Amino acid sequence: MPIALCVRWLLGTGLLWGALMAHAAPAGFSAWMEAQGPNHRASLTVRVQAGTADVGRAGQLFVAALLPSGQIVALTSNGWQGVGAGGVPAYQNVTLGQHTVPLVNQADLQTLSGTAIFAGYGTDLQDMVSRQAFSRVYVIGAALAGAAAAGDFLTFSINVQDFSYPELSAATVTRIIDLHERYQLPVDIYLLDTMLDVYQTSYPTLMQRLTTSPYVGLNYHIRPPKPYYKGFDWAGLTSLSLSQQTTSIKSYESFVTDPTTGLSTARPGGYAQLISLPNARPAITAAFQVEDSLLNASAAAFRELGATWTLAHGGGVLNLGDSARGLYIRPEHFDLLLFQSAGTAASSLVDAALQSAYAVSGARAPFFVGVKMHDNDFFSQRSAWLTVYMDGSRRPPWNTATKAALKSEADQAAQWVLYEGALQYAQAQAQRLGVANSAGIAQLRVAGSATLHISGTMHIESASTDWPDVDALIAFFRRATTTGKVGAQTSAMRWSIGADINWLEREPRAGEVISTLSALGVEWDVHARSDADRVRCATRIKALGGTPSSVASGLATTEIDGLRARQTGAAGDTWQAESLWGIVVSDGLPTGADDTAAGLWRPRSASDWKAHDPSASLVAVGNAGRTLSSAESLATKITAGGYGQPVYSATLNVSPKTLKIIDTSDGIDQIEAWAARVGAMSVVKWATISATASAWRSAGGLASRVNP
């Protein structure tokens, strides 16, 4: 077969790909993709490590992509080009070793979903193919599916642990892979070392699926009889020194553990075996499911084995970007134990879980709901590890022949209906929801790019008793619009005012105020308590020589849906809202009525307004508490890292009557001192509310809501 046709067949058929995976590539060879960012702003970099025996030799690097259309394109020194009869051209002639190949930077990959990218090396193309020195490194949209700018994510996790019924476990996992490939949604498979050994020994076809399916992320769980699992220190590890603990755990995670004796065997296994497999990057590990006194040793051991991610249960909110003991933590705001609710519509379970995620104090977008199942949930009344270990002795030996009873056929069928229903709902909601496995989660974690846009504002209400003294108001803004120009700030603080219709129509000096403050850079937002008055406010601002912004400043959640349409007044005047600020959850402004979230998002609806819908028309700008202290606290947290979205928001809210920050004694003197200090922080950008919304849109529209 001509080499060009061989490569086309090689790249285009999963059958040949799977067959090649059964043969060994050069020892020490690996190739993988480092992906960062959502699919509409993704950066991709290929990494290639030459085999040990090839390091230092002359060779060629190859990078090729198989498009969904069947076309093959190759990366060359002159960019991407189609592959013709001449075969896949080389990207670069190199001295073989470790290589980095940048592909794209913040590119929109949405139209390329399903494209598979391959990378490898050889003395020439035929050498690479014959020695199998290549691998598929990435499939666009496989690890990170759904809405590109999603603020809500589902993570499907299957804990595989039932060694009592290995044939049923293998059949279950195979069927799960079939479903995820059919619906084209990613899934995480968490393997015990026992199950990894069983699959590798007895189910090679399944192992091929696990390591080659683009939708599978391979990860790792710890269970008894590991002597460092919580409550199972039968080996006395807690009495050892930290270094001895680390060495012991690392040794355990390099070999298969005997399920009867709890001792290590001579067969390679554990986390060290799993992380070497394809699809096991980043290979999340349950390193924190150990005795509290062994947490440091466990984290150190897994780090030394190559782990970068872990998971934890309990202990507070888990946001994307959080880390502990040198490991990133899998984000999760609600743990949906799907298997507990057979017979219930999956759609209602997912929506309820998302609502619970939005309510978690301190949670920040993107919000993650973990959709969890175990292999035994589909066939057994109780898991093997619970039956053998948790129900038995905490010390060896264990009777692994003890088995739980199987579920009835009806109960088994109900679990499959529920699980497939969850996949169907995720697919149906792909315009607003994202689905990510471990590789997708790692792709979303983009550190060091967060900025906090801080604005200042006030509301002048219709009641004349709350109107400001005009001269004092102008004097305040002459100072407020010149403060904070420090460090790298390109401007001083930016402000806006939302004035209700009564003040605009009845304050004799309203035109003077608008003219004077507009010249100082103050913007005029539209603040009213009804749609009709919003149009009147916008019209009156124009009549007085000002320019109304597109910000609806101050509104009840019930008004959100109505504000999506252009507002038309009695005289035919129109005004269109684009951004929302000052959302209140009930009328009358009682204590606690204001939503004091930070960050920005697109509210899905009036009833589900905390949910981010990428296709929705309005942008909600969070105020982050509206005080000096709350804004500074947020800036300090963002500076410390972990806030991975590009744009967050905070606003100072000044009372027009007292000219002090609401509910505080902080006036212009305190604002000036605060701005000089906070403005010097590199993450801070001064912006009006409308400019903050504009910057957020330009940065990709990624939800950054932070629950108060």
Q: How confident is the prediction for the chain on average, in pLDDT? A: 94
Query: Omega of the bond prior to 225 within 30 degrees of 0, cis?
Result: yes
How is domain 146-444 classified at the architecture level of CATH? Alpha-Beta Barrel (3.20)
Give the per-residue pLDDT at 20. 44
How does residue 642 score in pLDDT terms, banded at 50, 70 and 90?
confident
Which helix (DSSP H) or strand (DSSP E) does residue 518 occupy? helix 510-519
Q: At what angle do helices 166-183 and 193-202 cross, to 10 degrees?
A: 90
Q: Looking at the DSSP assignment, which residues form a beta bridge with residue 367?
A: 152
- What's the DSSP call for residue 89? P
Q: How long a stretch of residues is the chain?
A: 708
How does residue 594 score in pLDDT terms, banded at 50, 70 and 90?
confident
CA distance 553 to 496: 10
Q: How far is CA 181 from the centre of its chain?
A: 22
Name the class of domain 3-140: mainly beta
Measured in degrees and rounded to the nearest 5, phi and psi for residue 690 equal: -65, -35
Give the per-residue pLDDT at 392. 86
Give the per-residue pLDDT at 240. 97
How does residue 21 score in pLDDT terms, banded at 50, 70 and 90?
very low
- The pLDDT of residue 3 is above 50: no
For 67-165, where are the E strands, in sequence order? 72-76, 79-82, 92-95, 98-107, 116-122, 134-139, 144-146, 152-160
Nearest to 454 by CA among 677, 173, 610, 253: 677
- CB atoms near residue 56 (< 10 Å): 10
CA distance 290 to 242: 14
CA distance 539 to 544: 9
- The pLDDT of residue 254 is above 70: yes
CA distance 572 to 676: 46
Tens of pLDDT along 460-493? 999 999 999 999 999 999 999 999 999 889 999 9
Give the per-residue pLDDT at 628. 98
Give the per-residue pLDDT at 16. 38
Number of H helices, E strands in the chain: 20, 32
Give the per-residue pLDDT at 94. 97
Give the per-residue pLDDT at 446. 82
- What is the pLDDT averaged over residues 384-401? 94
Tens of pLDDT along 211-251? 999 999 999 999 999 999 999 999 999 999 999 999 999 99
CA distance 101 to 98: 10
CA distance 1 to 13: 15
**Are 146-444 and 451-698 equal in CATH topology?**
no
How does residue 589 score in pLDDT terms, banded at 50, 70 and 90?
low
Least confidently predicted of 7-21, 398-412, 557-571, 605-619: 7-21
- The pLDDT of residue 86 is above 90: no
* Backbone CA torsion sign across 571, 577, 582, 585: positive
Tens of pLDDT along 44-55? 999 999 999 999
Give the per-residue pLDDT at 6. 40
Rounded (5°) CA angle 297-301-302: 120
Rounded (5°) CA angle 378-383-389: 170
- What is the pLDDT averaged over residues 12-27? 53
- What is the pLDDT averaged over residues 647-670? 97
Q: How deeply is 383 buried, as exposed, middle or buried, from its count of CB atoms within 10 A (0-12, 13-18, 19+)? A: buried
> Are 254 and 270 in contact, with CB atoms under 8 Å apart?
yes
How is domain 451-698 classified at the architecture level of CATH? Alpha-Beta Barrel (3.20)
Six-digit token pair at 438? 């471990």
Q: How far is CA 596 from the centre of its chain?
A: 22
CA distance 669 to 397: 73
CA distance 361 to 350: 19
What are the residue ranges spanned by the domains of the chain?
Answer: 3-140, 146-444, 451-698
- CB atoms near residue 173 (< 10 Å): 24
> Are 481 and 521 in contact, with CB atoms under 8 Å apart?
yes
> Are 379 and 405 in contact, with CB atoms under 8 Å apart?
no
Strands 579-584 and 619-621: parallel
Tens of pLDDT along 145-196? 999 999 999 999 999 999 999 999 999 999 999 999 999 999 999 999 999 9
- What's the DSSP call for residue 390? I
